[in-house]
């Protein structure tokens, strides 16, 4: 049975400040990956056709979860590690069966015993969350460490975060930086983002604005919304790189469209001041209204919006409403 790939679902690393500055990690939960089929950009690593013993995954991919469960169960009787992980996922997500975290954890535990890396990661996640099992950060760290020893990038990232916050592992920013760098060098966008933060703060690595900008750029190029926001701010401020307003606007627009409230508010300022874009009070007000609804406080921009003619404010409010409605439609299954 083939190896399960991991899909990076989001960043569990650093927080974004009100001004868009990078903030070092350290008080956040381990990155919680989900065992899944590979993302489209990873398909080149897959065989052109499914191997003969991969019928369980073929059924799973077709949404035939009960068939996949039955076929994986037969493979599990032969101690197939990936079969155990697949069964764990089916129960963890309630695919064709009632959701049962306890049962999922037992299947993941057996997969981990058999040496399956995604099984180790899934069990480590459940132990870190206390989901389906008693919460145990030490055992979670053990699972991540075993998986990291195989060279798995996501496991190294998780382990780095545990060293960074001193949870499950002794606090050690230097060990943390080593593991996070390992993951970053192998394309884990969240790790790239966090590594940028470490360089910016000089935490476990030298304080180096150029390196911070370089790794922030990689995470932004990977489409990580928070990274797009922070990198845009670096581009506007020229921290570690040349000022590039055009590129900054592009990243701010992308992060704003993905719902990053700080980016939305910053974009409002750019439209109000005509920085990198043609001044547009209606667009400025639109983004301010969207950011304000998300909880961003900005008295200066509020005064700007309040001073607009009633007709312009009405247009901005209508545009903000349309944007929110479009996002709601896009979020529907």
* The pLDDT value given to residue 8: 29
pLDDT tier at 238, thresholds 50, 70, 90: confident
Residues 161, 30: contact at Cβ < 8 Å?
yes
Number of neighbours of residue 13 by Cβ within 10 angstroms: 31
- 127 in the Ramachandran plot: left (φ > 0), alpha (ψ -120 to 50) or beta? alpha
Region 231-241 average pLDDT? 85
pLDDT at residue 241 greater than cutoff 90 = no
pLDDT tier at 52, thresholds 50, 70, 90: very low
pLDDT at residue 41 greater than cutoff 80 = no
pLDDT tier at 27, thresholds 50, 70, 90: very low
Identify the helix (H) or strand (E) that includes residue 85: helix 81-93
* The pLDDT value given to residue 104: 97
Write down how long the chain is.
Answer: 333
- Please name the residue that has the structure tokens 């400040």: 17
Share of the chain above pLDDT 90, in %: 78
Residues 276, 270: contact at Cβ < 8 Å?
yes
Distance CA 218, CA 222 (A): 6
259 CB contacts (<8 Å, ≥6 apart)? 225, 294, 327
Using DSSP's 3-state secondary structure scheme, residue 187 falls into coil
pLDDT at residue 179 greater than cutoff 60 = yes
pLDDT tier at 216, thresholds 50, 70, 90: very high
Q: How far is CA 13 from the centre of its chain?
A: 8
Q: Domains in the chain, please, with CATH?
A: 5-224 (1.25.40.10)
Mean pLDDT for all residues in the chain: 84
pLDDT tier at 328, thresholds 50, 70, 90: confident
pLDDT at residue 28 greater than cutoff 50 = no
Beta strands in the chain (DSSP E): 5-7, 34-36
* The pLDDT value given to residue 332: 63
Distance CA 116, CA 15 (A): 32
Region 303-318 average pLDDT? 97
Joined together, the tokens standing for residue 303 give: 């005064």
- pLDDT tens track for 17-26: 222 222 222 2
Region 306-311 average pLDDT? 96
pLDDT at residue 220 greater than cutoff 80 = yes
- pLDDT tens track for 123-143: 999 999 999 999 999 999 999
**Cα dist from 135 to 92, 164, 168, 292, whole Å:** 16, 19, 11, 37
* The pLDDT value given to residue 89: 95
Closest by CA to 280, choosing from 267, 297, 295, is 267
- pLDDT tens track for 56-98: 989 999 999 999 999 999 999 999 999 999 999 999 999 999 9
Closest by CA to 320, choosing from 292, 297, 278, is 292
pLDDT tier at 16, thresholds 50, 70, 90: very low
| DSSP per-residue codes, 279-333 | --HHHHHHHHHHHHHTT---HHHHHHHHTS-HHHHHHHHHHHHHHHHHHHHHH--
């Amino acid at each position: 049975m083939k190896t399960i790939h991991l899909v990076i679902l989001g960043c569990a690393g650093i927080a974004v400040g009100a001004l868009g500055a990078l903030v070092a990690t350290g008080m956040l939960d381990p990155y919680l990956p989900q065992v899944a089929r590979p993302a489209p950009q990873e398909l080149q690593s897959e065989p052109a056709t499914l191997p003969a013993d991969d019928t369980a995954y073929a059924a799973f991919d077709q949404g035939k979860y009960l068939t996949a469960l039955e076929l994986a169960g037969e493979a599990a009787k032969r101690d197939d590690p990936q079969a155990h992980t697949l069964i764990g996922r089916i129960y963890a997500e309630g695919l064709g069966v009632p959701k049962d975290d306890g049962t999922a954890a037992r299947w993941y535990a057996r997969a981990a015993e058999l040496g399956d890396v995604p099984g180790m990661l899934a069990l480590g996640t459940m132990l870190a969350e206390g989901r389906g099992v008693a919460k145990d950060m030490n055992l979670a760290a053990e699972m991540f460490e075993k998986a990291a020893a195989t060279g798995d990038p996501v496991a190294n990232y998780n382990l780095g975060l545990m060293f960074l916050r001193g949870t499950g592992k002794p606090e050690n920013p230097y060990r943390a930086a080593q593991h996070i760098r390992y993951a970053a060098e192998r394309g884990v966008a969240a790790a790239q983002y966090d590594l940028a933060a470490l360089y910016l703060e000089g935490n476990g690595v030298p304080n180096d604005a150029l390196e911070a900008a370089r790794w922030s750029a990689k995470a932004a190029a990977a489409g990580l919304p928070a990274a797009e926001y922070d990198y845009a701010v670096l581009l506007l401020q020229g921290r570690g790189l040349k000022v590039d307003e055009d590129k900054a606007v592009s990243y701010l627009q992308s992060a704003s469209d993905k719902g990053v409230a700080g980016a939305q508010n910053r974009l409002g300022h750019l439209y109000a001041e005509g920085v990198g874009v043609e001044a547009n009070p209606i667009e400025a007000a639109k983004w301010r209204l969207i950011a304000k609804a998300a909880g961003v406080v900005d008295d200066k921009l509020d005064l700007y919006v309040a001073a607009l003619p009633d007709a312009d404010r009405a247009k901005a409010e209508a545009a903000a409403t349309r944007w929110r409605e479009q996002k709601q439609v896009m979020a529907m299954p």
